């Protein structure tokens, strides 16, 4: 496919549904070959079918990002096949439980922090050399307002997003004069399975679908992007597609 991202290699985590699937489809629609990473094989296949039906191309990688060694293996495979990575989208996340901090089980805390924070550090650690091999490497990580606006009972999710924001901004500062840029995006309230778990009584029909926020990722993915270390919030008043 021809487009603003023609010939680019993009890796999207949490790509089997929701925002990850929508972003993967949008990047593919702009010409990128998309590497789809998620645990759910059936969901990955559905996204792959949709991308191919629209004329795009994708590679499926069934992977639990909390299996950190497999992230290293993925980076090695990408290097062997492509020699670079143009776009990294760190989208996969887990909420855990809506509970006072003192009531959260250690295992539940560890699982959320492992996926939302540590897995993204592991991605930065092994994908950074591949991003530097690209003409204009772009890293985009998905955050949330609770990462910088404290709220009761968000516990591990809020702490992990706060850590993610500081980590990505630190990484951005370390990029210096390289051609790589790293930013965060806050999609806002969106109709996703994750949000439904947090707010089970909410009327999801009143929320914008994931496809409506996918377009906001493109300006951070293109070589012309000059942002670095920014947190870009998708305003409900601005065009989302």
**Pairing status of strand 57-62 against strand 87-90:** unpaired
The answer to whether 208 and 237 have CB atoms below 8 angstroms apart is no
Active-site hit among 79, 153, 154, 157: 157
Residues 6+ apart with CB under 8 A from 206: none
CA angle 63, 153, 151 (to 5 degrees): 105
Catalytic site includes residue 157: yes
* Distance separating alpha carbons of residues 229 and 170, to the nearest angstrom: 8
Which of 93, 89, 174 shows the shortest CA–CA distance to 140? 89
In the numeric block, the tokens 């290293």 are attached to 72
Catalytic residues: 157
């Amino acid at each position: 496919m021809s487009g603003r991202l023609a010939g680019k290699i993009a890796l999207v985590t949490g790509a089997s549904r929701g925002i990850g699937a929508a972003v993967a489809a949008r990047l593919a629609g702009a010409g990128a070959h998309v590497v789809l990473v998620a645990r759910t094989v059936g969901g990955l296949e559905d996204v792959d079918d949709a991308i191919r039906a629209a004329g795009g191309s994708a590679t499926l990688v069934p992977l639990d990002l909390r299996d950190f060694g497999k992230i290293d293996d993925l980076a090695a495979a990408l290097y062997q096949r492509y020699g670079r990575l143009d776009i990294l989208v760190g989208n996969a996340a887990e909420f855990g439980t809506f509970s006072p901090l003192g009531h959260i089980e250690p295992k539940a805390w560890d699982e959320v922090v492992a996926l939302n924070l540590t897995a993204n550090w592991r991605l930065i650690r092994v994908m950074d050399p591949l991003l530097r091999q690209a003409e204009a490497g772009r890293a985009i990580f998905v955050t949330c307002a609770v990462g910088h606006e404290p709220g009761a009972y968000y516990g591990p999710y809020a702490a992990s997003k706060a850590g993610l924001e500081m980590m990505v901004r630190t990484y951005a500062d370390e990029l210096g004069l390289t051609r790589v840029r790293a930013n965060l995006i806050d999609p806002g309230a969106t109709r996703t399975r994750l949000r439904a778990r947090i707010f089970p009584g909410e009327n999801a029909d009143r929320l914008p679908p994931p496809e409506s926020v996918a377009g906001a990722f493109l300006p951070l993915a293109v070589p012309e992007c000059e942002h670095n270390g920014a947190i870009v919030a998708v305003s409900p008043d601005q065009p989302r597609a």
